[in-house]
């Protein structure tokens, strides 16, 4: 199975892109709803629980790990790669950075994410280490996650909040924006309406799914090990708020989940 984890339901947007790109690979998903959000928590906390979750996913049949959570990608991915050498571990940031570099023309890139992801500076460091001539503008948008979880995807208020958060990015005339949180792709239409059609919006889940498919094509022995099937398994450490709405928005249908906190 492909093991995917996030702090909550947001990672379902990553499941969606992986299903699209790699249909037939069985997925095991863990959403740490009991301890969400990760985006406003400290690095040590995120590292501790990310590690527990990877352990649990491997124990439950995952042969490959996707860190769907950007905060966890930022704070914990190096740690996880060092500790778990037997399974390939993918995170969200590197593929998104590659894509942003490919797409930008004026070299002005906006990053929107949770306070934790922004504080980690993982995107700036990654982007500037490849091209020091870039201008990178990170903005924390802490209200976006609760807006999505409330199902307020395309309300007038949502657009107004987006306008407030994106104002500095419009002013800086970015031509590329990275949606550095798994919830944000669900607000893509609203964000596009605020920024205008000329700004390229990057959904890291798509970049990750592409990277994963390239990896599996190059590593058929790993691809063979991964269980096939469409009976994906969704685990949450606590009952997710508004799951019905979110899974409708992501998959046009409800999903069957199991609630258990193994930690």
Residues forming the site for its own copies (CB under 8 A): 33-35, 40-42, 45, 115, 142-143, 145-147, 149-150, 152, 155-157, 160-161, 164, 238-239, 241, 259, 261
The question of whether 141 is a catalytic residue gets the answer no
Residue 155 per-residue DSSP state: -
Computed from CA positions of residues 224, 229, 233, 234, in that sequence, does the dihedral angle turn out positive or negative?
positive
Choice between 131 and 160, CB closer to its own copies: 160
Choice between 158 and 176, CB closer to its own copies: 158
CB of 209 to its own copies, least distance (A): 29
Choice between 131 and 260, CB closer to its own copies: 260
CA atoms of 186 and 149, how far apart (whole Å)? 10
Longest Cα separation, the chain: 50
CB of 77 to its own copies, least distance (A): 20
Write down the catalytic residue from 122, 178, 181, 246: 181
CB of 96 to its own copies, least distance (A): 24
Write down the catalytic residue from 69, 118, 127, 177: 69
What secondary structure does DSSP assign to 76-99, as a single string?
Answer: HHHHHHHH--SS-EEESHHHHHHH
Provide the angle, in degrees to the nearest 10, between the axes of the packed helices 188-195 and 156-171. 50
CA atoms of 67 and 77, how far apart (whole Å)? 8
CA atoms of 158 and 257, how far apart (whole Å)? 28
CA atoms of 205 and 17, how far apart (whole Å)? 6
CB of 111 to its own copies, least distance (A): 18
Choice between 42 and 61, CB closer to its own copies: 42
Catalytic residues, which ones?
Answer: 69, 181
């Amino acid at each position: 199975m492909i093991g995917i984890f996030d702090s909550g339901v947001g990672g379902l947007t990553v499941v969606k892109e992986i299903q699209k790109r790699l249909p037939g690979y069985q997925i095991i998903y863990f959403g740490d709803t009991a301890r969400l959000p990760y985006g406003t928590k400290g690095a040590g906390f995120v590292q501790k629980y990310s590690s527990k979750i990877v352990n649990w996913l491997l124990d439950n049949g995952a042969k490959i790990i996707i860190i769907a959570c950007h905060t966890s990608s930022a704070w914990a991915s190096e740690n996880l790669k060092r500790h778990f050498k037997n399974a390939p571990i993918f995170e969200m940031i590197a593929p998104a950075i590659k894509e942003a570099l490919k797409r930008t023309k004026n070299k002005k890139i906006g990053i929107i994410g949770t306070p934790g992801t922004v504080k980690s500076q993982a995107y700036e460091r990654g982007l500037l280490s490849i091209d020091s001539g870039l201008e990178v503008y990170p903005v924390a948008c802490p209200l976006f996650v609760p807006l999505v979880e409330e199902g307020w995807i395309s309300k007038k208020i949502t657009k107004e909040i987006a306008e407030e958060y994106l104002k500095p990015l419009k002013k800086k005339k970015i031509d590329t924006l990275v949606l550095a949180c798994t919830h944000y792709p669900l607000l893509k239409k609203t964000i596009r309406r605020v920024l205008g059609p000329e700004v390229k919006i990057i959904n890291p889940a798509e970049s990750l799914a592409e990277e994963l498919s390239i990896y599996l094509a190059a590593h058929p022995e790993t691809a063979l090990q991964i269980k096939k099937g469409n009976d994906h398994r969704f685990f949450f450490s606590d009952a997710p708020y508004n799951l019905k709405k979110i899974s409708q928005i992501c998959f046009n249908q409800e999903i069957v989940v199991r609630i258990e906190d193994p930690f």
